[in-house]
Structure 1
């Protein structure tokens, strides 16, 4: 593919707090996106002879305030919870499950005064408490507005219990496919969808490339049901769940697990698994990029990755990848894009975003781009979307619709 150089672009999300999103271009390289943290208020000392009693008291109060701000800014130490805490908080796992799948279950509860979600998952390779602490120390350093924060974990037998901050919002999959009303979506305007695409790209780029995390991570659980859409006064934003799950569950420890080990059975979600992941069970950053491409096509079309429709009395499986390729190659992108947008979107930008999604879905992983390159492309499409919105005179949408908890 043509890895053209992206011109410097800066995007500031309405929901961003202590980070700014900036993409930079480098000659003959993919672009790197970095999250720049806000500076901590500094405080210092002066010559003691210049202070009287009142100024020393004032200085002391100011220092205490600054230290308090510093403590609030610094990341918390990760918690290794005693299993009894998890058991008690979930009422012995008898509380109503918050979500469940074939590979995990989850409960919302309060632990040490924090509103959290506890996910139960099986180990692919058991680890001891020392190794758990070492891994948590790295993962819990993550600070990005597009990631849901991991607070800590607990172990019991062949299970690990991952404790994440609770975030009030709705799964992207439910935003796109409302089970009660298929004709309705809260993502009814173009800017909400392009912003979610940008949020996801930024978050995944942080996971793959942030030097602050000390290593290159793989997410391995990118899908629309692992993305939480949150609501602010003026926009909707996306946050990625389950960062750290693959690392802590041993899903990336291929060198230390024998092929015939019972923990080696790989898990994935139909419709999101890259061809090489299906054949080998080995997750890579390129398999993350593949899953990201599927989510982009979901955002554009409003359709699930795999579906079934009736043709000539038989049910035929339909892939969103196949329908996207047909639309792009046949010039039918406008008809393919989610009809609930009511044709109110920049068709050229939608075409470019569909093409970008398909590039991420190349069969050969070596032909897929790095996510850092994708960030640069989506940044440009975001700015083009803003220009289109201003040209059309579209006012910001009032997101007053109720969004219940996950």
Structure 2
């Protein structure tokens, strides 16, 4: 009986039952009681066994009882003894049967209780997930300046993890989404400046309106940025879901977007020739990572100056991956035509054909913006617009006209040889035929020699200084 008791104790403890100790004690008590209730082993009464007898059948038996000898002994003893032995034998069988039945019943009860506990625990976890509560084991810390306020949880069916930020924290950080904290506006909402404890600054993009499109872009951007880490791609800090509104929290870029710097109040005055080339180099690096180093490759699909953000040192980072797609997973039937007028490649606009070369075309438009300081599409009349590509293409290939279309802020501040090289790269990138455009890796190698070493390129300061002196 002892091994069975040990098994019962192990099963009861493994089930994690709330009253397992009481149940085990009850089992032990029951087994002990049943053991004690068993009748003693059969014996002969002294009065009978001590009386001498001349009958040879009553001679002592020295060997153990066997099945053949037991019948002769039972026949030899008195009828009273026979009755006692038969009764004892019957009682042992009854107790054994009762013990088997009780043990089986206890095993069934324990098994049912274990199953019930497992079922209850799973239901409890599901209810916690539905109510938005996270188990303590899932709580983590992603940002040290706001330690203990964010919960790090893995999003379903996604690699990596994203920090889920509580809505009241965003309200406090943005001063209830005050207009004074607006950094910019997008298609589905505004981007706000936020400040957490210890002066930790962030940018909070608010996606309003709900709907499948907003939800799809929100999930797409969070999913991609969870997997991507690169110096020239914006860093994701966290996200928040509040009703039908979605929030994405990024690192704050102090100098805003390239669009604001070029076409805002400063009109590009803070962007020197070399800083502009550095920005182009950073953007090309970010695109090269998406096209060549990501597995699988990623097409940004919405590259433009407003999605190129600049930090305090004018390091450029790509942002807004809501429309980004994985290369090879798109076709005209399941991919909605999206993008911004002036940056969309002709083959995508006309035929819905989207490749990495579509991003190269958009990069060429950005390069023209940096070169000329003009918007990608400008209104000629209230009913007529002109793209920067159409307007600039005839003059980009004419060396006598090219210096005249350069942004006045940087005009006459660069070596003309470098200007011609940048213009040639831009012309190749905006070719109408996608096959004529270079890979972004080739663009990157073309820009390296034009950017000073201290800004991330290979141009030596002495070389640049001698070129300026020769020009003078």
Residue of structure 2 equivalent to 1:289: 360
Return the offset for 1:165.
Answer: 0.9
Residue of structure 1 equivalent to 2:192: 107
1:284–1:111 Cα change, 3 Å: farther
Residue of structure 2 equivalent to 1:149: 235
* Contact 1:140 1:151 (8 Å CA) reproduced: no
Q: CA RMSD in A?
A: 3.8
The alignment covers a number of residue pairs equal to 299
Return the offset for 1:317.
Answer: 3.2
Equivalents in 1 of 2:239, 2:371: separation in Å?
A: 36
Equivalents in 2 of 1:251, 1:83: separation in Å?
A: 34
Mapping 1:39-50, distance limit 5 Å: none
1:135–1:103 Cα change, 3 Å: closer
Equivalents in 2 of 1:231, 1:138: separation in Å?
A: 25
* Contact 1:362 1:368 (8 Å CA) reproduced: yes
Return the offset for 1:272.
Answer: 0.9
Return the offset for 1:357.
Answer: 1.2
Contiguous gaps of at least 5 residues in structure 1: 1-67, 69-75, 395-406
Mapping 1:229-308, distance limit 5 Å: 229-232=310-313, 236-242=314-320, 244-247=321-324, 254=330, 265-279=336-350, 283-308=354-379
1:316–1:138 Cα change, 3 Å: closer
Equivalents in 2 of 1:340, 1:128: separation in Å?
A: 37
Return the offset for 1:294.
Answer: 0.3
Q: State the structure with more CA Rg.
A: 2
1:344–1:375 Cα change, 3 Å: same
Residue of structure 2 equivalent to 1:228: 309
1:167–1:230 Cα change, 3 Å: closer
Mapping 1:152-171, distance limit 5 Å: 152-155=238-241, 160-171=246-257
1:152–1:370 Cα change, 3 Å: farther
The structure carrying a bigger helix percent of its residues is 2
Residue of structure 2 equivalent to 1:390: 465
* Contact 2:396 2:424 (8 Å CA) reproduced: yes
Return the offset for 1:174.
Answer: 2.5
SS at match of 1:143: coil
Equivalents in 1 of 2:206, 2:337: separation in Å?
A: 17
Return the offset for 1:214.
Answer: 3.3
Scaled by the length of structure 2, the TM-score of the pair is 0.54
SS at match of 2:409: helix
* Contact 2:217 2:323 (8 Å CA) reproduced: no
* Contact 1:346 1:388 (8 Å CA) reproduced: no
Are residue 323 (structure 1) and residue 391 (structure 2) matched? Answer: yes
What is the aligned counterpart of 2:274 among 179, 186, 191? 191
Equivalents in 1 of 2:289, 2:340: separation in Å?
A: 23
SS at match of 2:404: helix
Contiguous gaps of at least 5 residues in structure 2: 1-143, 145-159, 452-457
Are residue 341 (structure 1) and residue 414 (structure 2) matched? Answer: no
* Contact 1:78 1:152 (8 Å CA) reproduced: yes
Larger RCO, structure (CA 8 Å, separation 6 or more)? 1
1:270–1:194 Cα change, 3 Å: same
1:252–1:152 Cα change, 3 Å: farther
Residue of structure 2 equivalent to 1:350: 419
Equivalents in 2 of 1:222, 1:354: separation in Å?
A: 19
1:153–1:253 Cα change, 3 Å: farther
SS at match of 1:307: strand
Residue of structure 2 equivalent to 1:360: 429
Residue of structure 1 equivalent to 2:285: 202
